[in-house]
Chains A and B, each alone.
Chain A
Amino acid sequence: MKKLVKNLVRNLGFAAVLLAVLLLAGAMPALAASEQDYEAAFAAAAAAEKQAAWLRNEWTPTEAQLAAAKKAAAAGDFAAAITAAKEAEALAKASVFQATSESERWKDMEIR
């Protein structure tokens, strides 16, 4: 019985440590909305926009979000910069999708 309690306590202790580690890990990205994370997010957005440019189909809101991301990063607000970069990436991807789907679809609108 004594052994059992001891075991339980030890296990609980282990669980608590585990929990703490997990919590910390979960908190990490938020805590460290780091420059590095921003740079990765921006690079992804810029790559998608480059593809849109290659298709001659950039959107102005994408450009605006890219500019906003740079501005926030320059001010040290990496959380805001990451949000803007992610938005830019989503917009750029949508414009790439548009260009791709229009490559044949434009004919539907043609006067014949």
Chain B
Amino acid sequence: MHARHIFLSAIAALVGGVLACVAASAIAAPDKIDPAADAKAFQKYFTDKFPQVKFEDFVNGPYSMNEDMRKQWEEKEQFPPYEFSLEAGKEVFATPFGNGKTYADCFPNGGLGIRQNYPYFDEKEGKVVTLELALNRCREANGEAPYSYVDDEMASLTAYMAFTSRGKPFDIKIPNDPRALQAYENGKRYFYTRRGQLNFSCATCHVQSPGERIRAEVLAPALGILNAMPIYRSEWSGMGTISRRLVTCNSQTRAVPLEPQSDEYRDLEYFLSYVSNGLPISGPGARP
């Protein structure tokens, strides 16, 4: 009698366990990290929401959303306000470091036409490496002090490198490495997580409300949102790197921004760039 009772209990536990496993896997299934499926859904969301916008045009941020702004912009592009920065970047890029080496020595293809491959996942380090980070690492490896991630020098360099890559579609790779998938997933989580006293996520503004005005500005769609970086902004009366833009956007929600090139921002850039795969680099950009 006693033995039978134990036996029955064991069966019950076993059945319960199996049921729990089935339930858990049913719940866990949609959480499988599937970047390709994400990118497809992400792009479809925007092309469905804005059927009048041509696919390649999503890289033009607010201009893709607003006809009047677009006209002003096209006029402006004849004397682009980033021209100065671009020239400066070209010069700095070619100027040797104290040890005689140059930026070209740090990058594939001498650093030209490669913007579309950044950020990439470095399997040795086990982390995402952005272009801004790679530039500073190049400086440090050659005995130079790193640049501020939010100032003009970094913006000029990335402007020049983006310019040499114009028209090349984003081609971000996620290697079959669980750490790379996790970095992508972390970037995605950061993008959708609400923060700051205003309780906004990046998606609140750039997924739910692109094309809408916030104060004087028209919100850019999240699709292709990094393709035009770095950007000149009249409000900054100067250039801004990706780091500067992320810090500014975080502050707008009354969140304390993270340090530029923190793991979170690197992963965020990885996610945003990956879901824009196929869209051409258009940087440097100019904004009102």
Contacts and interface: CB of A to CB of B under 8 A. Distances in A.
B264 interface: yes
B225 interface: no
B254 A109 contact: no
A106 B191 CA distance: 9
Interface string A75-112: 00000000000000001001100110010011101111
Contact of B254 (A60, A102, A107, A112): A60
B251 interface: yes
B196 interface: yes
A111 B207 contact: yes
A59 B192 contact: no
Nearest to B254: A60
Contacts of A60: 196-197, 251, 254-256
- A interface SS class: helix
B88 interface: no
B199 interface: yes
B194 A106 contact: yes
A99 B194 CA distance: 8
B193 interface: yes
A66 to B, nearest CB: 11
Contacts of B251: 60
B256 A58 contact: yes
A37 interface: no
A63 interface: yes
Interface of A: 56-61, 63, 91, 94-95, 98-99, 102, 105-107, 109-112
Given A56-B258, A59-B255, A106-B194, 16 more contacts: A57-B255, A59-B196, A60-B196, A60-B254, A95-B197, A98-B195, A106-B189, A109-B201, A109-B203, A109-B207, A110-B192, A110-B203, A111-B41, A111-B203, A112-B38, A112-B41
Contact of B45 (A91, A107, A111): A111
Given A56-B264, A59-B254, A60-B254, A111 B42 contact: yes
A91 B258 CA distance: 18
B115 interface: no
B287 interface: no
B266 interface: no
Contacts of A58: 255-256
Contact of B197 (A61, A106, A111): A61
A53 B248 CA distance: 19
Contacts of A59: 196-197, 254-256
Given A60-B251, A60-B255, A106 B196 contact: no
A61 B199 CA distance: 13
B180 to A, nearest CB: 19
A105 B203 CA distance: 13
Contacts of B254: 59-61
A111 B192 CA distance: 9
Nearest to B263: A56
A10 to B, nearest CB: 59
Contacts of A91: 197
Contact of A102 (B41, B193, B204): B193
Interface string B229-252: 000000000000000000000010
7 contacts: A59-B255, A60-B251, A60-B255, A95-B197, A111-B45, A112-B30, A112-B38
A105 B195 CA distance: 12
Interface string B186-225: 0011001111110101011001000000000000000000
Contacts of B256: 58-60, 63
B24 to A, nearest CB: 15
A56 B258 CA distance: 8
Contacts of B204: 109
